[in-house]
Structure 1
């Protein structure tokens, strides 16, 4: 059995990957990790520092490692997964067999989005509509947005204040990177993941925008399964 640790995107929770379990090989078990302030940890203080987030996830996954494992992170979750592998490398711990990154530029790419978490409410709502990851019924529900808006703003701040530090040594973990052809992340932005690992990365592109993963759930499940085949 291989444990696939799934790491939330901005505004996401441990429930964000639940539909993928049915499309993975029966030797893969999803183990969703939870950030503070949402899902199973709703009510705990939100974090706005990506390194603090990674440390919390590190403690969670250490308790759940039981043999072979891999990471999957979408968007912000991709950077968190990367920071986890860096920390595991520094601590001389067992490394994941594979790192799956979706909808996420390489951490070394110059951060071009630094002020989204400071936007006025109406501008912030318009931004969320463009990412098509938040259902219209949620965006139009004031009570629900009172719950979700602080979470997304905190996550955006964590991403936008992150300062890249090159790894002391390149990661010894294979990386598969997937990108939506219509999202604002360029091919070059994702190709730069090659600078982080000693392995040749696998780069795949799909029709769709930032949340293409839900439109291609069958194919992505197959790609992960084939990559982790026993």
Structure 2
């Protein structure tokens, strides 16, 4: 029998963690989907955005302390992948339990992020253009001034989070790492392949799917099939605490 596992999921820029709720109906019962909602959206709509990467990671680790224990894994798409990696690094630095695996989707490796991908966060037209370029946004949203305003404000705040990120040469994580990417996404393949350097464990995988940046929606069934395959072999057991880690010089 497969041991129960909590899958903590972090959203992409401009989105709510509710993007993962439909997975609860589509994944096997032994995987419990736990959306990690960020301030300023979804059920936290009335809260102020947190626009600094390290501050947001610290907040998430504190708020989800109970969930970040036991048999759990982290998943994130796009900005969510970077945040998931940041949470795993913070857990290790604090000597706290580590996830059984880190699953990252649609995001360049932390050491190989492309600075040219940033857009002007104060330019609504540029943000709208970025939404349209990436796809995945319902056309009805562009026709609703109120919804579009909320989305653009959220997207700008999240882009500030990404812009504030600075790779400090962190040591590889001692856990399995599985990456997912779209063949038609504009992230260069070598930036995805660089995730292999973020784990010190054997078994790194990189799965490719037809589709652009939001291949996880376009190819949802295939993505979830691969996700289940990667999670099925994880060992359950006592919490594993990592020694405090130092950033490499």
TM-score, normalised by the number of residues in structure 1: 0.94
2:76 and 2:99 map into 1 onto residues whose CA distance is: 13
1:98 and 1:24 map into 2 onto residues whose CA distance is: 17
1:219 and 1:114 map into 2 onto residues whose CA distance is: 27
> Do residues 170 (structure 1) and 172 (structure 2) align?
yes
Q: 1:91-102 counterparts in 2 under 5 A?
A: 91-102=94-105
Tell me the secondary structure at the aligned position of residue 29 of structure 1. Answer: strand
Cα 1:50–1:32 change in 2 (3 A) is: same
Q: 1:112-151 counterparts in 2 under 5 A?
A: 112-113=115-116, 115-118=118-121, 120-151=123-154
> Do residues 218 (structure 1) and 221 (structure 2) align?
yes
Q: 1:53-132 counterparts in 2 under 5 A?
A: 53-65=56-68, 67-113=70-116, 115-118=118-121, 120-132=123-135
User: Deviating runs (4+, > 3 A) in structure 1?
Assistant: none
The one-character-per-residue Cα deviations of 1:162-216 (angstroms, maximum 9, x if unpaired) are 111111x320111110111111111100111111111241011111000000122
Tell me the secondary structure at the aligned position of residue 58 of structure 1. Answer: helix
Match of 1:193 among 191, 195, 198: 195
Tell me the secondary structure at the aligned position of residue 232 of structure 2. Answer: coil
CA contact (8 A) 2:72 2:100 kept: yes
Cα 1:113–1:160 change in 2 (3 A) is: farther
1:40 Cα shift?
Answer: 1.1
1:85 and 1:52 map into 2 onto residues whose CA distance is: 14
Deviates more, 1:111-120 or 1:7-16: 111-120
1:147 Cα shift?
Answer: 1.4
Tell me the equivalent position of 1:182: 184
- Structure 1 residues without counterparts, runs of 5 or longer: none
Cα 1:103–1:110 change in 2 (3 A) is: closer
Q: What RMSD, in angstroms, separates the aligned Cα atoms of the two structures? A: 1.5
- Structure 2 residues without counterparts, runs of 5 or longer: 234-249
CA contact (8 A) 1:5 1:61 kept: no
CA contact (8 A) 2:120 2:126 kept: no
> Do residues 12 (structure 1) and 15 (structure 2) align?
yes
